[in-house]
């Protein structure tokens, strides 16, 4: 049976400087939480946000299940970066998210700091690609394999739009040249790529359309800024009943005695190759993981 990658459909940024959001995050059903110490905390709030997050993470410690826990730290060349990293490492979070990664040296630097502090080898780094230089170097970033392996690339459209001077129109075509290199580099390196945030929390339709577009482009999931965005994200980044039925038909087609040893078969009017079989098996494994998460199937 094909095994599925961990679910990263819905990945919510939680501003650590906001005590209510921090408290609220503990009751949310979401695939991953990124506790943010970077852009959502003003300079004067950063020390207090780090301490509040330290306390919050300690209360969560030992909880056997729940969302993946990540902390977005400040850049390591700022006054706060190393303190943030040490706090996240001490709280044994699953992932440290590095903002504004503009080349592989940023990953090596963070990985070295984790090794020096004996961080668990399972701790992962995620790299935010949100600068022009980061986009230009994204294949080298994705291929960098430091001790604490790169677990995902995360798009940062707000910084990209600002740096590139883009004026986005519906469907964000202006952003595609910036997202394309990340998608290619992530796939080539076998790393999931997470789509960027959608800033208008009241625009449900526009948000749902961007989620569908993100999935069609090959993102594994989407980063979010508000709990109201979780449901639509999970709907868009989960296989539909139609996709599951189609995958089951492909698996059944190749299981027929007549298909034994054949590379290609016909199902209805369509040619189906073994590469489609592999894709169908992966989709069914993914659907099973989602059903287990919902409690519809035993794990």
Ligand X SMILES: CC(C)(COP(=O)(O)OP(=O)(O)OC[C@H]1O[C@@H](n2cnc3c(N)ncnc32)[C@H](O)[C@@H]1OP(=O)(O)O)[C@@H](O)C(=O)NCCC(=O)NCCSC(=O)C[C@H](O)C(=O)O
**Which residue ranges make up the site for Mg ion (CB under 5 A)?**
130, 156, 159
| The binder of ligand X chosen from 102, 130, 195, 234 (CB under 6 A) | 130
The number of residues that bind ligand X (CB under 6 A) is: 24
Query: Taking CB within 5 to 8 Å according to partner kind, which of Mg ion, ligand X, none is near residue 196?
Result: ligand X
By CB under 6 A, is residue 114 in contact with ligand X? no
Q: Select the span of 113-121, 155-163, 235-243, 246-254 touching ligand X (CB under 6 A).
A: 155-163
CA distance 15 to 40: 6
Query: Taking CB within 5 to 8 Å according to partner kind, which of ligand X, Mg ion, none is near residue 40?
Result: ligand X
Contact present, 78 and 100 (Cβ < 8 Å): no
Tell me the closest approach of the beta carbon of residue 100 to Mg ion, in angstroms. 7
Question: Which one, of 43, 13, 18, lies nearest residue 229 by Cα?
Answer: 13
CA distance 108 to 150: 10
By CB under 6 A, is residue 25 in contact with ligand X? yes
Query: Taking CB within 5 to 8 Å according to partner kind, which of Mg ion, ligand X, none is near residue 225?
Result: ligand X
| The binder of ligand X chosen from 2, 24, 145, 252 (CB under 6 A) | 24
Query: Taking CB within 5 to 8 Å according to partner kind, which of ligand X, Mg ion, none is near residue 186?
Result: none
C-alpha separations of 243 from 23, 41, 251, 287 in Å: 37, 41, 12, 10
| The binder of ligand X chosen from 197, 259, 272, 277 (CB under 6 A) | 197
Residue whose token pair is 């056997």: 64
Contact present, 39 and 223 (Cβ < 8 Å): no
Check whether 72 is labelled as a binding-site residue.
yes
Taking the least distance from each CB to ligand X, the nearer of 20 and 167 is 20
Taking the least distance from each CB to Mg ion, the nearer of 34 and 287 is 34
C-alpha torsion sign, points 159, 229, 34, 142: negative
CA distance 150 to 172: 27
241-255 and 274-294 helices cross at what angle (nearest 10)?
A: 130
- Identify the bridge partners of residue 270 per DSSP, sorted by sequence position: 267
Taking the least distance from each CB to ligand X, the nearer of 226 and 293 is 226
Q: Which backbone phi and psi does 176 adopt, to 5 degrees?
A: -60, -40
User: In 10 A of CB 100, how many CB atoms?
Assistant: 19
Binding-site members for substrate are 72, 130
- Which residues in this chain contact ligand X in the complex, by CB under 6 A? 12-15, 18, 20-21, 24-25, 36, 39-40, 128, 130, 156-159, 196-197, 201, 225-227
């Amino acid at each position: 049976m094909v095994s599925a990658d961990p679910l990263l459909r819905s990945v919510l940024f939680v501003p650590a400087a906001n005590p209510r959001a921090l408290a609220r995050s503990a009751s949310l059903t979401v695939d991953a939480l990124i506790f943010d110490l970077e852009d959502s905390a003003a300079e004067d709030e950063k020390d207090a946000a780090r301490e509040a997050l330290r306390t919050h993470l300690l209360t969560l410690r030992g909880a056997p299940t729940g969302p993946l826990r990540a902390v977005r730290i400040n850049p390591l060349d700022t006054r706060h970066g190393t303190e943030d990293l040490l706090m996240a490492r001490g709280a044994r979070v699953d992932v440290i998210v590095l903002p504004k990664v503009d080349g592989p040296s940023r990953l090596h630097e963070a990985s070295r700091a984790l090794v020096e502090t004996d961080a668990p080898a399972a701790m992962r780094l995620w790299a935010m690609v949100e600068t022009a230089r980061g986009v230009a170097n994204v294949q080298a970033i994705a291929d960098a394999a430091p001790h604490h392996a790169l677990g995902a690339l995360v798009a940062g459209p707000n910084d990209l739009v600002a740096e590139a001077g883009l004026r986005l129109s519906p469907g964000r075509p202006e952003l595609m040249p910036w997202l394309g290199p990340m998608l290619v580099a992530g796939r080539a390196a076998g790393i999931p790529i997470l789509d960027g945030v959608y800033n208008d929390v009241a625009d449900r339709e526009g948000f749902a359309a961007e989620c569908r577009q993100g999935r069609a482009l090959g993102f594994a999931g989407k980063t979010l800024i508000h709990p109201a965005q979780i449901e639509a994200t999970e709907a868009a980044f989960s296989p539909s009943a139609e996709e599951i039925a189609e995958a089951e038909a492909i698996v059944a087609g190749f299981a027929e005695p007549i298909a034994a040893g054949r590379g290609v078969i016909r199902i209805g009017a369509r040619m189906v190759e073994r590469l489609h079989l592999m894709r169908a098996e992966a989709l069914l494994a993914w659907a099973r993981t989602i059903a287990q998460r919902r409690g519809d199937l035993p794990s």
